[in-house]
Structure 1
């Protein structure tokens, strides 16, 4: 925990405390950075140009440099940059959108940095085509861009890269490129391995379909300086029309080892950060990974930190995809880059490696730090039991408790409902509760708080009348007023549920092999036991609330769902031999979960 002191940040009732101010009033805490890096300049200038890569492809580069009286200074400074999709564009109203201003990163020029944004090949105003998603050509480009930076008179030989989502993954790929000048990577909301992130549990949902843009959309990008008529921009945009259709590519790659002729490779492997773990470690670059409890990639950044030997810090807050509301992410980048690019002893690497928000179902939250993740080692098992059939019209009222089922034949069944809806668009976030569309299992009222920090898992035995079955599991908090909040979720394709030893550290969770040879169709009515990996969480179920598990055969976020006709009948087994149970990483003794009692 941070030392007691002045509250520096509040998020939904959470306080992040800073150490007592010292005489020089310097503060360096997560999201707070004052007094260590004085403002050297009060203005910046932006310049743009094309920079040729080793194969002659020209990339559009925006460079923000510190300035005095409107003139860029020649003093060498470290460069921090982002491998973008669109460094600058023009809106329908004629307003210019600049990535440096929009992100707030241009402000670092005042503290003695050069900040740059580079359109990836096949995107923005850059030439070339994008053959796949984070192909090796982009990593080679990253190397060439950093060599170009280092050659400029206004640059030192110490470079940092940052980004979030697709640019966060591009930042991680930059660390695979072998540049000796790259010293620090600040990457958010990225997948360590694309199959595990985009195809979680073997099921496509939410992620990775874009970017695919029309010619008209590409022409809204801002031309580089000197391309006044936009002729070069149009030429580049025309080349983009040969970009890979990512939707088609992923559709052609249902398995981890699928080869796609259109890109001439196994895309899940070639385009994944994890494939180049050795190269990242050889780079020696320090890594900072950031994510949110409402983001689908939060496990990926934790796996990345556990699997890479590089100096690593991790931040997880209460945010959605690339969110950081209430937390100054630019200040956090600033202090990280100050330490690694300027040698400022601001204490960031003396702090515990992991910083995360513990969310409370009563609205209160607290920040926590630890050198290890997960910080809780106890496990408690809650068994699914005593349910009845659920339909679209009636909510299943199964139980969730400490007692292992007795007897034979206990099972619950329902017909999979594909007609799922939410009151508002889900977008990249979590779905809304779907209790009426599946099977639910709920505990008794908790008589004390239950903290779940780590990776929940459902050991599930089911059968289906279909040869394959997508299975979705939601861990929910049921408040005294009956309102339901989804805390975390898991999904697995039953025919691809075989697990094995992972090539990297998956933190004790099941790793689905997902190869074509692993595909095993379900025999109608024959039970299959599988481990359903739920995304990590740090959440307190309050006294007076209940825990609930909901199981469905469909999700509103599925992007490539196969629907069977008639809709299959899904059966969850819960007897003495074919038991199904929820395994929770809990705080405290495993036999005492929120005061729940055994009936025996």
Structure 2
């Protein structure tokens, strides 16, 4: 063991990088989303990385990496603001033994040039830190965040001004840091997080895609980098042994079908106790400014909009044409630099005078950036009805119509046998599923006479009956090109047992909200038509002229992680009688 670590870490973990300095005075003063120059002088052209353990209030030691400005290879003691991330792993070795620190820092070490200290902290039970991870974003982790910020603020090289950043699980950790009440925290830059875990991870009461890691073997844990004082990796090995008691998240979520489910293994109601929304008042009391960002191809995009609408804190929102934690074509580090300069250094770069919401509207392979004072921007809800198609058949690619005409006459209904054989040619990972038009009911509009912008939250309202007491329903909004190719624009889903809607305790932007408490569960009455309403994830896209809009209804989705298949499969009936029609409201920008 000792020999292995001596060989592996023969190189020093004190790393110094040099980048050419340029005079800020020679740069044009630019400050707009994704662009920033001329406001902050370059103070240093080197940084030094060190690592150490920092004990928490209960004695648990967390591993901390520090990237500090340096001169001639030595870190400076001049006090500077500190920005940090509550990581799962500061850095780890690939199977071939290489380390990519650039991937860890995501470019944030660049801020050392401008007079920042950048820190990365392994959360307890992860990386080189000791302890165990109980649940997911527990209050113990929030207390750790408080202790870390207190430590960072009181070091001689810190001026006491602290910012926190992150994306996905670390973005949510950044939001939980804001609940801890630290007087030192002055700014939060968080991406792709859930505001309420049940609505983000268990959207519509259905698990798909998210939150089943990290679960690592001891061997995998030993690829994490030890701290400087542990060159042989002996402490890392002890920490890795403790990690084996971490919560198995997949098992925890399966034990919590309802928003208020209690899971004995963690002694908590995980959806409630681990949600940012539960501690919204603490965030508001802190007054800490927040910058939230996401992408249109991410399942959490509604969550950051709900967060911004609910919290009274100064708030910026950015949504681009990106997947989970993506930002291709946009300089996210420059945007973080702008935000932290304003709140941690008092540089009046105009960022907070801009409209609070900056979002991208897609249009085929291109698009445009827009700004808005509030979300959703002005759009009219245009109701499209699910109607009988030109052939009157079910099961063909174009079996139903989507029309703005109100149903007349005796109406009708479409019968659908739930098909569990949904699949995609390639694994979908964290992305949207592929079109399932051959395995569901489809309703397709006439070709659009002109390009049509959809910006906001589509809402589906079905008059639905089922032969079974339970089941799931999925809806996809699609664009169908003249050549027949299909692109999914957005989707929605609902577990039928929690179909009743209620008033939400936070701002859900005018969409239906399903409380999902255990006492709310109500089986479907066989063959009894019920109103089933749910929203789709928000969207901002232009559908070209000549394309058709399509709604596809299924009873299964490729991404389901805990599907309960029934035998025989349920038979759904989508009703479209006058006065009891099924429809979708589309947010069309005129």
2:413 aligned partner:
411
1:352 pairs with 331, 351, 355, which one?
A: 355
How far residue 409 of structure 1 moved from its aligned partner, in angstroms, is 5.5
1:263 aligned partner:
266
1:314 pairs with 307, 312, 317, which one?
A: 317
2:458 pairs with 456, 474, 481, which one?
A: 456
Matched, 1:92 2:103: no
**Cα deviations across residues 151-187 of structure 1 (Å, max 9, x unaligned)?**
1000011100000000000000000001000000000
Quick check: 1:355–1:368 contact (8 Å CA) kept in 2? yes
**Cα deviations across residues 74-116 of structure 1 (Å, max 9, x unaligned)?**
1011000000000011111111232675411111101110000
Quick check: 1:396–1:438 contact (8 Å CA) kept in 2? no
Q: Distance in 2 between matches of 1:396 and 1:418?
A: 20
RMSD value, Cα: 1.3
Matched, 1:182 2:169: no
* 3-state secondary structure, aligned to 1:492: strand
How far residue 481 of structure 1 moved from its aligned partner, in angstroms, is 1.1
Quick check: 2:26–2:38 contact (8 Å CA) kept in 1? no
1:242 pairs with 225, 245, 250, which one?
A: 245
How far residue 395 of structure 1 moved from its aligned partner, in angstroms, is 2.3
Q: How many residues align?
A: 564
2:480 aligned partner:
478
Q: Distance in 1 between matches of 2:445 and 2:408?
A: 18
**Cα deviations across residues 450-508 of structure 1 (Å, max 9, x unaligned)?**
11111110111111222112111000011111111000100011111111010000000
1:372 aligned partner:
374
1:274 aligned partner:
277
Q: Distance in 1 between matches of 2:240 and 2:324?
A: 28
1:594 aligned partner:
none
* 3-state secondary structure, aligned to 2:92: strand
1:542 aligned partner:
544
1:592 aligned partner:
none
Q: Distance in 2 between matches of 1:251 and 1:408?
A: 43
How far residue 389 of structure 1 moved from its aligned partner, in angstroms, is 5.1
How far residue 427 of structure 1 moved from its aligned partner, in angstroms, is 0.4
**Cα deviations across residues 124-175 of structure 1 (Å, max 9, x unaligned)?**
0000011100000000000000000011000011100000000000000000
* 3-state secondary structure, aligned to 1:551: strand
**Cα deviations across residues 351-400 of structure 1 (Å, max 9, x unaligned)?**
00000001114x33110001111112411101000044544xx3242000
**Cα deviations across residues 231-286 of structure 1 (Å, max 9, x unaligned)?**
10010010011111111111110000101111111111110000000110111111
* 3-state secondary structure, aligned to 1:60: strand
* 3-state secondary structure, aligned to 1:90: coil
Q: Distance in 2 between matches of 1:282 and 1:237?
A: 37
Q: Distance in 2 between matches of 1:498 and 1:265?
A: 25
1:580 aligned partner:
582
How far residue 36 of structure 1 moved from its aligned partner, in angstroms, is 1.1
2:85 aligned partner:
82
1:57 aligned partner:
60
Quick check: 2:437–2:552 contact (8 Å CA) kept in 1? yes
1:430 aligned partner:
432
Please say which of residues 564-573 and 305-314 is displaced more in the overlay. Answer: 564-573
Q: Distance in 1 between matches of 2:104 and 2:522?
A: 51
Q: For residues 101 and 251 of structure 1, do their structure 2 counterparts lie closer, same or farther at Cα, with a shift above 3 Å needed? A: closer
**Cα deviations across residues 283-339 of structure 1 (Å, max 9, x unaligned)?**
111100000000000000000000000000000000000000000111100110000
TM-score by length of 1: 0.92
Matched, 1:494 2:491: no
How far residue 513 of structure 1 moved from its aligned partner, in angstroms, is 0.7
Quick check: 1:461–1:528 contact (8 Å CA) kept in 2? yes
TM-score by length of 2: 0.94
How far residue 578 of structure 1 moved from its aligned partner, in angstroms, is 2.2
Q: Distance in 2 between matches of 1:582 and 1:74?
A: 60
* 3-state secondary structure, aligned to 2:100: strand
Q: For residues 23 and 372 of structure 1, do their structure 2 counterparts lie closer, same or farther at Cα, with a shift above 3 Å needed? A: farther
Q: Distance in 2 between matches of 1:389 and 1:555?
A: 23
Quick check: 1:389–1:414 contact (8 Å CA) kept in 2? no
2:403 pairs with 401, 404, 424, which one?
A: 401
**Cα deviations across residues 572-598 of structure 1 (Å, max 9, x unaligned)?**
11111320011011123xxxxxxxxxx
Quick check: 2:398–2:444 contact (8 Å CA) kept in 1? no
* 3-state secondary structure, aligned to 1:399: strand
Q: Distance in 2 between matches of 1:460 and 1:240?
A: 46
Quick check: 1:82–1:163 contact (8 Å CA) kept in 2? yes
Matched, 1:154 2:176: no
1:18 aligned partner:
none
How far residue 350 of structure 1 moved from its aligned partner, in angstroms, is 0.5
2:200 aligned partner:
197
Runs of 4+ in structure 1 deviating by more than 4 angstroms, as ranges, are 99-102
Q: For residues 389 and 196 of structure 1, do their structure 2 counterparts lie closer, same or farther at Cα, with a shift above 3 Å needed? A: farther
* 3-state secondary structure, aligned to 1:65: strand
How far residue 407 of structure 1 moved from its aligned partner, in angstroms, is 2.9
Quick check: 2:27–2:37 contact (8 Å CA) kept in 1? no
